Amino acid sequence: MRYELLDKPDFGMVRVTFDAAGEQMLAESDAMVARDSAVEMKTQMQGGLLNAAKRKLLGGESLFQNTFTATQPGQTLWLAPAPEGDIEALELDGSYEVFLQSRAYMASAPTVVLDTKWGGAKGFFSGTGMFLLK
């Protein structure tokens, strides 16, 4: 799977090209701009009802996430954040954790696990929120 960040910084968008059939991408329910017809979309609550509700209520994310699956190589998916803005890609290898402000998550590989973490009083007073996405 390859990706390219487009139209930065004001109206950021990412174009994902699947190299093989069966490759998948998870995305927030409001992130899809367009997809090729051979990219299947399945909408569900990732991690079950309790985890999805926790992400929604504490992390500000959508209750549902879309799983996009390529049915053949070379298919393309376009994603953009719901409020216009810039996009940054983080290469995650599992050796460290990343904490994001609420509503900052847009998409990831299915191996990335989203959770919420208490941001403390510092997070509350700084405007980043009482809970962060982990």
In-domain check, residue 91: no
Output phi, psi for 50, to 5 deg.
-65, -45
Cβ(104)–Cβ(98) under 8 Å?
Answer: no
Structural domain count, the chain: 1
Reported as type and span, the H/E element at residue 66 is strand 65-70
- Could you list the residue range(s) of the whole structural domain that residue 75 is in? 2-83+96-133
In-domain check, residue 89: no
Please write the tens of the pLDDT for every residue from 95-106.
Answer: 877 777 777 778
Q: For the whole model, what pTM was predicted?
A: 0.75
Please report where in the chains the tokens 């007073």 appear, as a residue: 125
pLDDT confidence bin for 15, thresholds 50/70/90 = very high
Reported as type and span, the H/E element at residue 124 is helix 120-126
